[in-house]
């Protein structure tokens, strides 16, 4: 999802700090896997709430811009299962999320093994 603010900047996940303290550079727009029998729309809203929920409040508003939806299909070998040919269907959509911090910020997500911390930055869109 390309979450944009009023200045036209896009929200990128710059880095993750795993519960064990290991840091991972991400440099990615927010993304979420679609669950079986779930629409792209529902998966997008769920992903925003899961990833950014620690900085959102009851007044926050999520708006998915349906007219920006792009769907593409790619066939390649799975990164998780070497040798398995896999088809990936990607849905890319622009979103506006009211209530996000104006500057760079950090979120926390409770997991079974501890807390995942993510650093987010507003940047000019890449590519």
pLDDT for the residue numbered 127: 60
Element (H, E) at 24: strand 23-29
Q: pLDDT tens digits for the chain (127 residues)?
A: 999 999 999 999 999 999 999 999 999 999 999 999 999 999 999 999 999 999 999 889 999 999 999 999 999 999 889 999 999 999 999 999 999 999 999 999 998 999 999 999 999 977 6
CB atoms within 10 A of CB 82: 7
Cross-sheet strand order for the sheet of 85-98: 2-3, 85-98, 61-77
Nearest 5°: phi and psi at 60? -65, 150
pLDDT for the residue numbered 59: 87
**Prediction pTM value:** 0.88
């Amino acid at each position: 999802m390309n979450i944009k603010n009023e200045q036209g900047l896009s929200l990128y996940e710059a880095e993750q700090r795993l519960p064990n303290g290991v840091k991972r550079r991400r440099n990615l727009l927010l993304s979420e896997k679609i669950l079986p029998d779930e629409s792209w729309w529902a998966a997008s809203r769920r992903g925003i709430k899961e990833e950014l929920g620690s900085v959102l409040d009851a007044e926050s508003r999520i708006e998915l811009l349906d007219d920006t939806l792009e769907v593409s299909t790619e066939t390649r070998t799975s990164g998780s299962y070497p040798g398995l040919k896999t088809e990936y269907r990607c849905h890319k959509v622009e979103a506006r999320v009211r209530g996000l911090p104006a500057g760079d910020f950090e979120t926390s997500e409770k997991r079974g093994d501890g807390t995942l911390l993510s650093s987010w930055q507003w940047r000019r869109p890449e590519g």
